Amino acid sequence: MNNGTAILSTDNLRMHFPVKGGVFQRAVAACKAVDGVSLTIMPGETLGLVGESGCGKSTLGKTISRLYEPTSGGIAFEGNELADLSRRELKPFRREIQMIFQDPYESLNPRHTVGTIIEEPFVIHKMGTRAERRQWVADLLAKVGLPESAAGRYPFEFSGGQRQRIGIARALALKPRLLICDEPVSALDVSIQSQVLNLLMDLQREMGLSYLFISHDLAVVKHISDRIAVMYLGRIVELAPAEEIYNNPVHAYTKALISAIPVPDPTYVPDRVILEGDVPTPIDPPDGCRFAPRSGTGHSPEMLETLPPFKEISSGHWVEACPVCAPAR
């Protein structure tokens, strides 16, 4: 992939967790949560990341923001390699990549006022005087649509949607370039969800932000993303522009995932591919096509053993080219 101008690119990124067992708690297996992911995010772009629980999408987000120490592979932010940096060397890059979490009830410290929560990044990075910081907090609150008086109140005094706005204000404090949004609207009601999505789109236009938008809600991802990556068991199986992936899905998993979305139109007759079984465990998954056990079609033994290549089948449309799950057109 061309990553000359990308704001972020990962190269064959892996995040494996040891599974401990036995009397001595030795590593007996590896949970391959992220297993060889290469993707790029361009400036001002939203890359949607979809997949089911346990596919590794949140782990990928946390690994990119270096909350985890990657097992192998590269993470480059504007060409600077982050994967091997020490904590101190990472500090300047921490400002550039921020996260928004799913649960607005758990991601804010209940004992701090909203002002303290939003001010904290400035304190950590030793920026501004007290008066300046107070002004910045007021500006940030205004930016996310909360009154200035919110600074003196505690998180429990706010609704879910307002708390998510507080989380967004905190993430924006240091003027990051890339926001990793991990299921930012999943815990919100429909009428509040659209308010927060609009806010995210407005902020992107205003500040030129890039987003990695992680969600299991495909309609939301489709709405907000420029390109979409579909993840299954630690790997990206398909990556394409948003319209293209919905109009022209190639991989059997992408097709099943899209067809499973309930459409809010009672006259629509779904042409549904119902998948058998559940997402298998990422502990010691097969080396080859990982979707094989659920695809319902025959895979030859070598397809289960050798990793299918990630191929560009049309401009910007990439797919893990298992001959059974993603036959050439």
Partner 1 sequence: MGEVEPEILLEVRDLVTAFDTDAGQLTAVDGVSFAVRRGRTLGIVGESGCGKSVTAMSIMRLLPQPMGKILAGEVLFDGRNLATVPAEDMRSIRGNRISMIFQEPMTALNPVHRIGKQICEVLTQHNDLSPDDAWQQAVEMLDKVGIPSPEIRATEYPHQLSGGMRQRVVIAIALACGPELVIADEPTTALDVTIQAQILQLINNLQRDLGMSVMLITHDLGVIAETCDEVCVMYAGRVVERAQVKELFANPRHAYTQGLLSSIPRLNGTPKSELQTIDGMVPALSELKPGCRFAPRSGREHAPELLVERQALRQISTDHWVEACPVCARG
* Phi/psi at 239 (5° precision): -145, 125
Helix (H) or strand (E) holding 72: strand 72-77
Beta bridge partners of 211: 46, 179
**Near partner 1 by CB under 8 A: residue from 18, 110, 208, 270:** 270
CB atoms under 10 Å from CB of 275, counted, come to 19
Closer residue to partner 1 in complex, CB, 43/128 = 43
* Distance of closest approach, residue 54 Cβ to partner 1, in angstroms: 9
Q: Residue 193, interface with partner 1 (CB under 8 A)?
A: yes
Structure tokens at 312: 């560009």
Q: Residue 19, interface with partner 1 (CB under 8 A)?
A: no
Separation CA 15–CA 185 (nearest Å): 26
Q: Residue 216, interface with partner 1 (CB under 8 A)?
A: yes
Q: Residue 307, interface with partner 1 (CB under 8 A)?
A: no
121 alpha carbon, distance to own chain's centre: 22
List all residues 6 or more positions away from 165 whose beta carbon is below 8 Å from its beta carbon: 144, 145, 146, 196, 199
* Phi/psi at 9 (5° precision): -140, 145
Q: Residue 6, interface with partner 1 (CB under 8 A)?
A: no
> Burial of 190 by CB count in 10 Å (0-12 exposed, 13-18 middle, 19+ buried)?
exposed
**Near partner 1 by CB under 8 A: residue from 128, 246, 286, 307:** 246
Q: Residue 297, interface with partner 1 (CB under 8 A)?
A: no
Q: Which stretch binds partner 1 (CB under 8 A): 80-88, 110-118, 273-281, 285-293?
A: 273-281
**Near partner 1 by CB under 8 A: residue from 30, 279, 304, 324:** 279
Q: Residue 91, interface with partner 1 (CB under 8 A)?
A: no
Q: Which stretch binds partner 1 (CB under 8 A): 21-29, 172-180, 261-269, 316-324?
A: 261-269
CB atoms under 10 Å from CB of 76, counted, come to 17
Q: Residue 207, interface with partner 1 (CB under 8 A)?
A: no
Note the residues at the interface with partner 1 (CB under 8 A): 46, 52-53, 159, 161-162, 189-195, 197-198, 201, 216, 218-220, 222-226, 242-243, 246, 256-257, 259-268, 270, 272, 274-275, 278-279
